[in-house]
Structure 1
């Protein structure tokens, strides 16, 4: 179950990193983000990816957790890339929903 939590935390993490890129800001927003918001997106993305690593290590040992984390991040990055390619406007609501679901599942131990 924690691999799914890691995936669901990795999805908004990669979405936040994508929002920090100027190329994707044109697709997601009407205007480019300021430098402060761009750094905030990078920081939030890195924090979410670290939280997904924590979910994997909490479920398994460090070696198996890192391996599961790499697999979850592969799926999350491919999902974000596909969404940005075909339906970029879906990325914000989907990543927000995935983050809430992952946080609730991790908090309640589901």
Structure 2
């Protein structure tokens, strides 16, 4: 479930960065249209891969329930961090995406 959580948080952060306001606040520049589209695609793909990670550990019934719980948890964490510690939110997403290949090989 840790892999699904890391991928969900990274996906939501990519979707957050695809918005002009958040992109300018976090990175200090306005995103181009191509950059916004790539971030939306990356966010959607990360969320889809997180669904695979959640379902692959258990069957579909429990995997979907776990995935929705991870979705809510990662979205809540991002929403709580953005107003107060936006740089920490971005750093956590980067660290989570860097750690996800390692977490993939850790036995659950």
Provide TM-score, normalisation by structure 2.
Answer: 0.92
Structure 2 segments unaligned to the other structure (5+ residues)? none
- Deviation by residue 1:5-54 (Cα, 9 ceiling, x = unmatched): 11111111100000001221221121110000001100111111111100
Structure 1 segments unaligned to the other structure (5+ residues)? none
Q: What is the CA–CA distance in structure 2 between the aligned matches of 1:63 and 1:103, rounded to whole Å?
A: 25
RMSD (CA atoms): 1.1
Q: What is the CA–CA distance in structure 2 between the aligned matches of 1:5 and 1:96, rounded to whole Å?
A: 14
Q: What is the CA–CA distance in structure 1 between the aligned matches of 2:2 and 2:106, rounded to whole Å?
A: 12
Aligned residues: 107
Runs of 4 or more, structure 1, over 2 Å off, are: none
Provide TM-score, normalisation by structure 1.
Answer: 0.91
